[in-house]
Structure 1
């Protein structure tokens, strides 16, 4: 993790901006700058933000205060984003951040599918930053922004009919039935996900749940090398969403690890159903064997697309040639970040 203060400076700069733009598109900057700082690219953070700034909007106006008495009414109301963020800022000023997270994680977890899973991904990046330095005020504020965005975009997945499962996460993802109708945005497609393999069933212990979650992230990252062309941007969430959950587990009570696995599997499998291609391509290394993980991430950082940066960050967590090949494939098929004309 960057120790120069660049990450905290970037967060301070970003907390005057809202979690979304155009009423539906996510502000990825807090997640991307955390990944850049964590992977040794702190000198690039502010330059990257200067380019990304055209995608930022001002912080939204308050609507009505969220309280302990009315929070259930405000859950899932995107108009209340500022109210939710203020609520979590108050909670985090009064209590330890791990206690706030432990209380709200089970409340928010069933709705991790809102905002195309970006809210939980933002929380995962915020938690990694706090695990590195939990005395940082900007990092505590970032957790408030992430949790507030999650609460405002809280959205349940449909109750999918369980299909026969598979032993491995890779085989389970391969057995996910693709949607027959693939038009519309994320919420429209999610509503059509009615059948999913029953893979993450009854792990025997929290430790087993964590191991299976790591297996899922590994399988989803590797799968991108042969399936990412189905939708180069949206398919990264099949791995970055469960990886955000995996990164958060060390800060959570162990009793929450099993339900976290179930929610993460639903997210990964649903994204796979919604965006996977009709046919995979043959696996190619793309030179990954001759590159170090740092070199691969440098290519992602130079490319600049926010999803590519975050996906490469997750691929480095997984490690190995095929994961690095997936990151290089994302660089190859995604549109680079460009400065506004």
Structure 2
């Protein structure tokens, strides 16, 4: 992890910005700079932010303080983002961050689909930093921003009919039925997700949940190498959302691992249902490129989703995962 102080500087720079822009598009900068710092690219963090800065908006105004008595009324209200971030800022200032996370994780987990799964991804990046380094002020504030964004964009998925499952995550993702309605953005498409395979439904043991979640992240990352053209940006989340959950598990009580797997599977499968292409393309191996070279290529490209998928691909750590990162570079528009 970054020991230069650059990540903390970048997070402080970003905490004056809101979690979204244009009323619906996510601010990816906190996640991307954490990924760059984690992959040895701290020197590139501020230059990358200079390019991304045009996509930032000022921090929103508050409406009414969120409290322990009224939080249910504010849950899932995007107008209350500033109120929620302030609430979690107070909570984390008063209690250990792991305690706050353990209390709120099961409350927020059913709604991880709001904000196109970006809130849980932002939390996963924040938790990784806290687990691997010092609990500095900017890093704790970043967790408050991530949790607050999640609470504001909380959106549950209900009434999903379970279809016969498959033995492996790869086969289960292949078995996900695509939705018929392919117009509109993430919220509109999510409303049409009604049937998903029951791949993770029978898991009851925490250790099994951890193994299955690891398998899911690997399968979804590998799948991008041949299916990413279905929607080069949105299909990234089929891998990065469950990986955010996987990164958070070490900070959570074991009792929360199984429901975390169930929610992560539903999210990954739902994204697959919404954006899967009609047919895959042939797999292209990454050749002789090593992980550090793939990171350099992702940084040169600059797109925030490319950076985050590359970060997840390095967690997976095999040839097919590197091929997925390179595929994202080929498919995506670079940051200019």
Q: TM-score, normalised by structure 1?
A: 0.98
State the match for 2:47 in structure 1.
Answer: 47
Q: Is the 8 A contact 1:239 1:268 kept in 2?
A: yes
* Cα contact 1:213–1:261 (8 A) shared by 2: yes
> Which of residues 291, 294, 312 in structure 2 aligns to 1:293?
291
What is the match of residue 223 of structure 2?
A: 223
Q: Which of 313, 322, 332 is equivalent to 1:334?
A: 332
Aligned-partner Cα distance in 1 for 2:202–2:88 = 32
Matches for 1:184-263 after TM superposition, within 5 Å: 184-263=184-263
Give per-residue Cα distances to partners, 1:119-178, cap 9 Å, x unaligned.
000000000011122421000000000000000000011321000000000000000000
Q: Are residue 312 (structure 1) and residue 310 (structure 2) matched?
A: yes
In 1, Cα distance between equivalents of 2:250 and 2:287: 31
Between the two proteins, the alignment pairs up a number of residues equal to 336
Contact 1:134 1:140 in 2 (8 A): no
Q: Which residue of 2 aligns with 1:112?
A: 112
Residue 289 (structure 1) shift:
3.5
Partner residue of 2:183? 183
Q: What residue is the counterpart of 2:145 in the other structure? A: 145
Partner of 2:158: 158
Instruction: State TM-score, norm by structure 2.
Output: 0.99
| SS across alignment from 1:63 | coil
- Aligned partner of 1:19 in structure 2 is 19
Indicate the larger mover: 128-137 or 221-230. 128-137
**Rounded Cα–Cα distance in structure 2 between residues aligned with 1:133 and 1:291:** 29
State the alpha-carbon separation in 2 of the partners of residues 196 and 115 from structure 1: 20
List, as ranges, runs of 4+ consecutive aligned residues in structure 1 with deviation greater than 6 Å.
Answer: none
Return the offset for 1:226.
0.5
In the alignment, structure 1 segments of 5+ residues that lack a partner are none
Residue 64 of structure 2 is matched in structure 1 by 64
Equivalent position of 1:269 in the other structure: 269
**Secondary structure of 2:287's match?**
helix
The 3-state SS of whatever aligns with 1:16 is: coil
Report the Cα distance in structure 2 between the residues aligned to 1:268 and 1:203, rounded to whole angstroms: 17
Distance in 2 (CA, whole Å) between partners of 1:207 and 1:94 is 31
Distance 1:280 1:159 in 2: 29
SS at match of 1:200: coil
CA offset at residue 319 of structure 1?
1.1
**1:200–1:262 CA contact under 8 A, matched in 2:** yes
CA distance in 2: counterparts of 1:86 and 1:197, whole angstroms? 39
**Matches of residues 90-101 of structure 1 in structure 2 within 5 Å?**
90-101=90-101
Deviation for aligned residue 1:294: 1.1
**Partner Cα distance (1:20, 1:55) in 2:** 9
- The answer as to 2:113 corresponding to 1:123 is no
In 2, the alpha carbon distance for the partners of 1:204 and 1:96 equals 28
- The question of whether the paired residues in 2 share the 8 Å contact of 1:158 and 1:191 is answered with no
Instruction: Work out whether residues 164 and 198 of structure 1, in 8 Å CA contact, stay in contact via their aligned partners in 2.
Output: yes
Bigger drift between 196-205 and 8-17 goes to: 196-205
Quote the RMSD (CA, aligned, Å): 0.6
Worse overlay, 203-212 or 304-313: 203-212
Report SS of the residue matched to 1:196: strand
Partners of 1:135 and 1:238 in 2: CA distance: 29
- The offset of 1:182, in angstroms, is 0.4
Q: Secondary structure at the match of 1:217?
A: helix
Question: What's the offset of the Cα at 1:204?
Answer: 4.1
